[in-house]
Amino acid sequence: MCEKLPYYNPRIDKCLRDKIKEINRSKYFITQSSCCGHGKYPTTIVVKSGFGNFFEWYSLTPLGKRKRYFYKKDEEGYYYIPEVIEFFKILGSFLILISSKFLPGMMA
Ligand SMILES: [Zn+2]
């Protein structure tokens, strides 16, 4: 669906085209692949930095140095990045922990 598309590729999710152009205008970052998440997953853009490492643009999740297959496809055909899902799970647990410690009134 959305994997491994260079920024000029018309198959990039429409809603991400401007953002991807903007990222690629910088000489420090090159986008590798992206997916808007199609309402099911977080929007993700895989970016290669000038240092050669890969990360996801919005969550800043490091993705190691592999060359492809950042995305996995679920049983419905939607693509997601496992590390980014992990990131949001950890972030979610962290927020629950913080709010239970510091904002006890908010937790029923
Ligand atoms: Zn997509």
> What value does the CA radius of gyration of the chain take, rounded to a whole number of Å?
16
- Residue 22 Cα to ligand 1 midpoint, Å, equals 18
Q: Is the pLDDT of residue 99 over 70?
A: yes
**Residue 85 backbone dihedrals phi, psi, to 5 degrees:** -60, -45
- The pTM of this model reads 0.76
Q: 11: how many CB neighbours lie within 10 A of its CB?
A: 10
- Residue 88 Cα to ligand 1 midpoint, Å, equals 18
Q: Is the pLDDT of residue 6 over 50?
A: no
- Residue 13 Cα to ligand 1 midpoint, Å, equals 5
- Residue 36 Cα to ligand 1 midpoint, Å, equals 5
C-alpha distance from residue 75 to each of 1, 72, 79, 80, 97 (Å): 13, 10, 10, 11, 32
Q: Is the pLDDT of residue 98 over 70?
A: yes
- Protein residues placing their CB within 5 Å of the ion ligand 1: 2, 13, 35-36
**Burial class of residue 90, CB neighbours in 10 A (0-12, 13-18, 19+):** exposed
pLDDT tens per residue across span 26-85? 989 999 989 999 889 999 999 999 888 899 999 999 998 776 678 998 999 888 999 999
